[in-house]
Structure 1
Amino acid sequence: QTWDELMALTQQIADDGDTAWCIGLESGAATGWVATDWTEETLLRTQPPEVYDAWVAGELPFSSPEVKGAIETWSEIWLNDDYVYGGRDSIVTTFIGDSPVGMFDDPPKCWMHRQANWITGFFPEGLTEGKEYDFFYFPPKDPAYGNPWLVAGDEAAMFNDRPEVRAAMEYLTTPESVSGFLEQGGAMAAQQTATPEMYGQETERKIGALLEEATTFRFDASDLMPGEVGAGSFWKGMTDYVSGAADLDTVLKEIDDSWPK
């Protein structure tokens, strides 16, 4: 229910001789984005949403105490070799899709993995949600900031204002337009009129119920930033930091310097 409880569980698993977490950062040319998600999650749990918005807009630097503090928060897990399977060195070289698989080894190599709901598509076949695996909401750190949700999604844009194009765009505002995705699993509807019955997987139905308790929604920050930052220096900087190739202050300054003037 709380960040402190999550850290206590992490330590308890370590005390029992196991590693709590499986984490992987490798994603080809996109290596590093998992760390950007953790930064966004922790910033929303340690600062007001207005701080997050200022950061996205380039008004709050990466080297600010707020953003640096968010990174230092998740570093308590990532950089502790007692907490992560394979230790810090394995994070950068482990493919994102392979990173949760250790939870299903016998005996398990780890017990927890943080990722969006699409990650179940990388789980071994034949597993049942609620039996071989389950999930919980990434817990808040400060009750003052409620239950924030970090989301990402796909967008559609109309380039030709013709009746048939407008009709297609209007159709995309209905939950029926995404019913196939909802039935298959791994996606959530942005349409507020979507009902729990439209989800074909129990995981998404449970996530939908949790979404109703959200106090704040924010879109993925790195996706909203200029490409050379959000899909460039931010990814690279987090990879350099986690691998130990550069210290955090150096990385944050380099990201700030890369922001378009």
Structure 2
Amino acid sequence: MRRSLGRALLGILLLGLGACSGTPEPAGGTLTVLASWEGAEGAAFESVLKRFEDESGIEVDYRGTRSVSQVLRSDVQKGRPPDIAVLPNPGELAQYVESGDLRPLTDVLGELPGAQWLPLQRLGTPVYYTVVVKADLKSMIWYRRGSLPGAPPRTWAELVALSGELGARGQTPWCLGMESQSTSGWPGTDWIEDILLRRSGPEVYQRFAAGELPWTSAEVRQAWQDWGQLVAAPGAARGGPDGSLLLGFGDSAKPMFTSPPGCVLDHFASSRVSGYQQYELPGRSKPTVDEFDFFPFPVREGSGNPAVEPAGVSADLAGMFTDSEAARALMRYLASERGQAVWPAEETSATFSINRNLLDQGVYRDALSVRVAERLTSGPWCFDASDMMPETMSDAFHRAVLDYLGNTGDPGELDRLLEVLDRVRVELPAEERLNLPCGR
């Protein structure tokens, strides 16, 4: 497999491929695929593409960049889009549907598994436009086994109490890092979304994600305040708010595995399974999956079991920007059970499919990953709100998180930020908003 910024012309057309068979016939040619994965994640995705290359004879030039949205936008504007792009933002992909740049998958795919995921893969239209390459479970808090003073908290009040108890013991409760190159701030948006979903419920959350709920509403304001009071309190986060602004999200939980631990709790999605196992730590081996665990994000008091209340999810969605037989073949492969099974089987992988059949095939290597996969394929869940927002809105959300965390001592800062965000919301054209129901 070549990693190249150039795009070769397609040579020989692919013939005789049944819809969604996942077994391409050799044909030849070249495709360009753009996605955000680098490092270990990028290598794992290349394993998927390599299997496709071997079976189809089609060569794939993979481009991995954390600035995938900006690169894709530039390529599309220049008239040289990749054949296939993988984005974590259905809101962005929906805008490419509106502009006519994203090609429909009519007559490309058969019926896809996971009924609750179908509206997402159709981007709110009657036809398929995307394939979920991998999914992530959110609404999770990670910890090192044996590090909690008691049972995991089930309610927000219990979580606040746990954070205070850890601080009283001289421990730093929270691992927290906001830096992520052009998308810095998104770990904070995940926090606010989880608080809103788990404390105000899926109906309020869905209105928020669709741009129907003002940012200045009591529910949204309370979610911001709750987050600030928890992680910006003195000693609550390693390095304090200013240190968190500069710390890369990928490295923020490393201190969880030092002795003694430099922080105890880590709010992050299921992709942390592989992230932890990649940590190079002085004086010890890399962490193994037996060293860490998670508990569901707490819910509002009296609302029920946090393990079965709607959870947040996100997904990486593949879309076809050039319509060719080779591009169709790769989209079919990515959607197929055969293609979906390659990535989760990779060593230290934290890739989860929405195809429940894979649970019976032993592709998940440990009990923790099985728990995540079962939750993703059974629901109920709500899709990541900022990923559904138009890029202008999600970018403003990211910036506001950084401003808020850096100015939590200013009582008027939150009011100002929420008013700015609401002005952006009101000015967005209705056609740029994506309204997807929570999955059941």
Q: Is the TM-score greater than 0.5?
A: yes
Would the alpha carbon gap of residues 135 and 67 (structure 1) be closer, same or farther in structure 2, given more than 3 Å must change? same
> 2:420 is matched with which residue?
254
Residue matched to 1:235: 398
Match of 1:129 in 2: 289
Structure number with the higher strand fraction is: 2
Relative to 1, partners in 2 of residues 1:115 and 1:165: Cα closer, same or farther, differing over 3 Å? same
Q: Does 1:223 align with 2:387?
A: yes
Query: What is the rounded CA distance, in whole Å, between the counterparts of 2:321 and 2:271 in structure 1?
Result: 30
Amino acid at match of 1:71: W
Aligned equivalents of 2:239 and 2:204: distance in 1? 34
> How far off is 1:102 after superposition?
0.9
Aligned to 2:48: none
Q: Alpha-carbon deviation of 1:205?
A: 1.4
Alpha-carbon separation, structure 2, partners of 1:28 and 1:256 = 25
- Tell me, yes or no, if the aligned pair for 1:20 and 1:111 is still in contact at 8 Å: yes
Does residue 155 of the first structure (1) align with residue 317 of the second (2)? yes
- Identify the range of structure 1 (202-211 vs 61-70) with the bigger mean alpha-carbon deviation: 202-211
Question: Does residue 49 in structure 1 map to residue 202 in structure 2?
Answer: yes
The whole-number CA distance in structure 1 between the counterparts of 2:327 and 2:256 is: 46
Written as runs of structure 1 = structure 2, the 5 A alignment for 1:103-252 is 103-123=256-276, 124-125=279-280, 126-130=286-290, 132-144=291-303, 147-158=309-320, 168-184=330-346, 185-195=349-359, 197-211=362-376, 214=379, 216-230=380-394, 232-244=395-407, 247-252=413-418
Q: CA RMSD in A?
A: 2.4
2: CA distance, partners of 1:8 / 1:93: 27
Structure 1 CA distance for aligned equivalents of residues 297 and 256 of structure 2: 18
Separation of aligned partners in 1, 2:186 and 2:323: 36
Tell me how many residue pairs correspond in the alignment.
Answer: 258
Given that 1:39 and 1:70 are in contact with CA atoms closer than 8 Å, whether structure 2 keeps it comes out as: yes
* Percent pairwise identity: 33
Q: Write the distance in 1 (CA, Å) between the matches of 2:325 and 2:183.
A: 38
Unaligned runs of 5+ in 1: none
Q: Is the 8 A contact 1:174 1:191 kept in 2?
A: no
Following superposition, the deviation at residue 47 of structure 1 comes to 1.5
Which residue is 2:253 aligned to?
A: 100
Higher mean alpha-carbon deviation, 169-178 vs 42-51, is at 169-178
Task: Tell which structure's C-alpha radius of gyration is larger.
Answer: 2
Q: Is the 8 A contact 2:257 2:287 kept in 1?
A: no
Deviations 1:69-106 (A, max 9, x none): 11222222111123212222211111101110111122
Following the alignment from structure 1 to structure 2, what is the Cα–Cα distance between the partners of residues 134 and 218?
Answer: 22
SS in 2 for 1:110: coil
CA contact (8 A) 2:274 2:350 kept: yes
1:144 match: secondary structure: coil
Judging changes above 3 Å, is the alpha-carbon distance between structure 1 residues 101 and 161 closer, same or farther for their aligned structure 2 residues? closer
CA distance in 2: counterparts of 1:117 and 1:41, whole angstroms: 14
Q: Matched residue of 2:312: which SS?
A: strand
Alpha-carbon distance, 1:201 to partner:
4.2
- Normalised by the length of structure 1, the TM-score is 0.88
How far 1:137 moved relative to its partner?
Answer: 1.9
Moved more, 49-58 or 245-254: 245-254
CA apart distance, 1:10 = 1.3
Distance 1:40 1:235 in 2: 12
- Determine whether 1:11 maps to 2:167: no
Distance between the aligned counterparts of 1:70 and 1:32, measured in 2? Answer: 16
Structure 2 CA distance for partners of 1:13 and 1:213, relative to 1, 3 Å: farther
Amino acid at match of 2:300: K
Equivalent-residue separation in structure 1 for 2:377 and 2:296 (angstroms): 12
> What TM-score do you get using the length of structure 2 for normalisation?
0.54
Does structure 1 retain, via aligned residues, the 8 Å contact 2:176–2:238?
yes
CA distance in 1, matches of 2:333, 2:378: 28
Distance 1:167 1:98, change over 3 A: closer
Which of 211, 224, 227 pairs up with 1:71?
A: 224
Deviations 1:10-39 (A, max 9, x none): 111111111111111111221110111111
Contact 1:173 1:191 (8 Å CA) reproduced: no
Alpha-carbon distance, 1:164 to partner: 6.9
Q: CA deviation at 1:107?
A: 1.4
Aligned-pair distance for 1:210?
4.4
More helix by share: 1
Of 88, 91, 95, 2:244 maps to 91
CA distance, structure 2, for counterparts of residue 52 and residue 211 of structure 1:
19
